[in-house]
Structure 1
Amino acid sequence: MKIIKAISEQLIIKELAQAEFEQAYPLVHQLRQDLPLTDFLSVTAQMQDYRVFVLTVADKIIAYAGFAEQLNLYEGRHIFVYELVTDVALRGQGYGKILLSALTEEGKRLGCEMLVLTSGLQRVDAHRFYEEKMKLMRTSFVFRKEL
């Protein structure tokens, strides 16, 4: 684990190496409940430029963000957040805000123009957090079809 930023003596943002992703799986599983550990490790190993920041308290992972720097025609260079989850027992204490702010700083450091994420329609509390606390704008819908 590489230290990104110390918020306090106990509260630290770290970047995980691929070999350390398994340590964060219990937290990721809170968000992606149908995702087995083997699939999590296999898919993240194949994702291009996938990175992970975690927020730890006394070396215990309490929040997780999986993201990548991307470039496309409609967002330009941006940080795309695939997963953002805080331990269910610790939500509402500002940990998600700390981690999302760290991703914003990382995006700026990389020269990105935007931070972008998607969120399932059922995640009303998450949407309120993104819009009210983090000042993200709802700008589009995502449409998909199984093939």
Structure 2
Amino acid sequence: MSALSVQLGYELDAQTAAPRMGLVLTSAGHHAFGAFSGERLVGFLHCYDRPSIEKGRALVVQALVVDESARGSGAGRFLMAEAERLAGEIGCTSITLSSNMRRTGAHAFYERIGYSISSTSRIFSKTL
């Protein structure tokens, strides 16, 4: 997972990734799926259930990455299909995600599987 996260632009070593994954898997409403080629992890998706007053209940895809060598193999479609299945199971009315403006290949992928741009917001953060 740490090597895949680097492909998303996040420097992450295995010692940091392991406890984070443990926290995700034990947090209510959070889910993770993996795509494998044999025993090799070629992609993962982390999502969470987000109820909101203004938009209703959505499943948010927090992270989706497929190894560069496996892109086009169907791994991304598989992971998004699992997220859609989960969303239906738990009663979400939509799935939402953000994708960096420079990731035009990812944008084309999302559009091919039926997603459309619904916002042009900016994300603000503060490091604590």
TM-score normalised over the length of structure 2 = 0.82
1:82-108 C-alpha deviation (Å, 9 max, x unpaired): 111111111112210111011101110
Identity across aligned pairs (percent)? 22
AA aligned to 2:35 is L
State the partner residue of 2:39.
59
- The 1:106/1:146 distance shift into structure 2, 3 A limit, reads closer
Q: For structure 1, which runs of at least 5 residues remain unmatched after alignment?
A: 1-23
Q: Deviating runs (4+, > 3 A) in structure 1? A: 35-44, 46-49, 144-147
- DSSP 3-state at the match of 1:56: strand
State the partner residue of 1:138.
117
Does 1:111 pair with 2:91?
A: yes
Q: Is the 8 A contact 2:3 2:12 kept in 1?
A: no
Does 1:33 pair with 2:10?
A: yes
AA aligned to 1:87 is D
Q: For structure 2, which runs of at least 5 residues remain unmatched after alignment?
A: none
In the alignment of these two chains, the number of paired residues is 123
AA aligned to 1:79 is L
Distance, in Å, in 1 between the alignment partners of 2:13 and 2:124 is 23
CA RMSD of the aligned region, Å?
A: 2.1
1:119-145 C-alpha deviation (Å, 9 max, x unpaired): 0011011001101x2110101023134
Q: Is the 8 A contact 1:77 1:113 kept in 2?
A: yes
